[in-house]
Amino acid sequence: MAPRALITGITGQDGAYLARFLLEKGYEVHGMVRRSSTETFERINDLRHRITLHQADLLDQLSIITLLQNVRPREVYNLAAQSFVPTSFLQPLLTGEFTALGVTRVLEAVRLVDPSIRFYQASSSEMFGKVQREPQDEQTPFWPRSPYGAAKAYGHWITVNYRESYGIFACSGILFNHTSPLRGKEFVTRKVTDAVARIKLGAQDKLVLGNLEALRDWGFAGEYVDAMWRMLQLDHPDDFVIATGEKHSVRELVELAFAHVGLDWRPYVTIDPELFRPAEINTLRGDAGKARSQLGWQPTLSFADLIHMMVDADRERVARELAE
């Protein structure tokens, strides 16, 4: 019988890649979606006939319990969250409800319905915040710099706590920034590649950004979902940093994306101080040595190839839209 997996946040970037990955592995894939007046299934439209979607919400405990009772999965991947850092400053309480307490609600449902379920929590390098060491690994202390980071730190520790208290097979993947052509357009990588495509095709003339000096460790989402799955196949649950080990600035990202279409970025980019954050994370770089040795996982796509792939995908899409 095919193993059954449930993905919360299946309509997001990682959910879409993970669903494809698990289908290829022969899984029966179920996804949790929240009710909305407009469907947000764009990233999984091509998979609709191969997966089963169920309505539930991270804010609603009973809906998650009922979902687990109906699906009875072997693995649960908890990817749902309010994941945009600037929004977490504007809506800190809602971010705490989704991104922090939402994790406990899913874990409580696992504990109640079937404690043998294998559980993956989408933790984040944002927990390292004001970094205490470089590169960051599983032992580096947390110092979150946003309500989002603080909520993820809670989600991480509650996951560890349910493993230690109740013996639940719960893993926390501490993933550094990862992106792709499916990335939300509000995140800086996609904001830049979409703008470059539009500028090249004459549909936009300016790109307004915030802090160009921030450094991030960016990988490809398509490769990072493989690491999530590998964690849940271990003999014993554990926590892993997933990263490339390289850092690049937003400025470098911008230069690279514009150069790929033969443009100099300087005439097009302006800086708006409103886009700077109340507290910034200046630098992040992960050490995924433990994942390499214990999961056999390592990234292969270079930063330049990743950004070029995203610019190319956006160019194709924008050209199609303009032709319609």
Q: Which residues bind ligand NAP (CB under 6 A)?
A: 8-9, 11-15, 34, 36, 40, 57-59, 79-83, 98, 122, 124, 175, 177-178, 184
Residue selected from 32, 214, 228, 310 as contacting ligand F7E according to rule CB under 6 A:
214
Would you say 104 or 261 has its CB closer to ligand NAP? Answer: 104
Q: Does residue 30 sit in helix, strand or coil?
A: strand
Contact (Cβ atoms closer than 8 angstroms) between residue 9 and residue 30: no
Whether 17 is a known active-site residue: answer: no
- Based on the shown chain and the rule CB under 6 A, indicate whether residue 174 belongs to the binding site for ligand F7E: no
13 binds, among ligand F7E, ligand NAP, none (CB under 5 to 8 A by kind): ligand NAP
Q: What angle do CA 103, 107, 109 make, to 5 degrees?
A: 120
Peptide bond into 147 cis (omega under 30): no
Site string for ligand F7E, 245-264 (x = CB under 6 A): -----x--------------
63, 83, 123, 124: the catalytic one is 124
Q: Is 211 in the site for ligand F7E (CB under 6 A)?
A: yes
Tokens of 134: 């470089």
Residue 209 binds to ligand F7E (criterion: CB under 6 A): yes
Identity at 207, one-letter amino acid code: L
In the complex with ligand F7E, the residue whose CB is nearer, 219 or 237, is 219
Exactly one of 191, 198, 200, 260 binds ligand F7E (CB under 6 A); which one? 191
Nearest distance from residue 171's CB to ligand F7E, in Å? Answer: 17
User: Residue 259 and residue 311: Cα distance in Å, rounded?
Assistant: 10
Q: Which residue among the candidates 28, 75, 126, 255 is catalytic per the annotation?
A: 126
Q: Is 124 part of the annotated catalytic residue set?
A: yes
Give the three-class secondary structure for 221. Answer: helix
- Please pick, from the candidates 203, 275, 279, 322, the single residue that binds ligand F7E as defined by CB under 6 A: 275
Please give the size of the binding site for ligand F7E, defined by CB under 6 A: 21
DSSP summary character for residue 277: -
Q: How far apart are CA 138 and CA 117, in angstroms?
A: 24
What's the rounded Cα separation, in Å, for the pair 7 and 68?
11
Which span (230-238, 239-247, 273-281, 304-312) binds ligand F7E, by CB under 6 A? 273-281
For ligand NAP, give the closer residue by CB, 155 or 199.
Answer: 155
Give the C-alpha distances (Å, rounded to integers) separating 217 from 126, 149, 249, 299.
11, 16, 9, 12
Tell me if residue 83 is catalytic: no
Are 146 and 254 spatial neighbours (Cβ–Cβ below 8 Å)?
A: no
User: What is d(CA 288, CA 173) in angstroms, rounded to the nearest whole number?
Assistant: 11
Q: Considering only the stretches 129-137, 187-195, 259-267, 288-296, report the one whose residues sit in contact with ligand F7E under the rule CB under 6 A.
A: 187-195
Footprint (CB under 6 A) of ligand F7E, residues 58-117: 83, 85
The dihedral sign for the CA sequence 286, 291, 296, 297 = negative
Nearest distance from residue 36's CB to ligand F7E, in Å?
Answer: 20
* CA distance to 25, 26, 53, 98, per residue, from 78 (Å): 19, 20, 15, 11
17 vs 27, beta carbon nearer ligand F7E: 17
Query: What's the token pair of residue 199?
Result: 């500028």
Catalog residues that contact ligand F7E under the rule CB under 6 A: 83, 85, 124-126, 176-177, 186-189, 191, 209-211, 214, 216, 250, 275, 277, 280
* Catalytic sites, residue numbers: 124, 126, 148
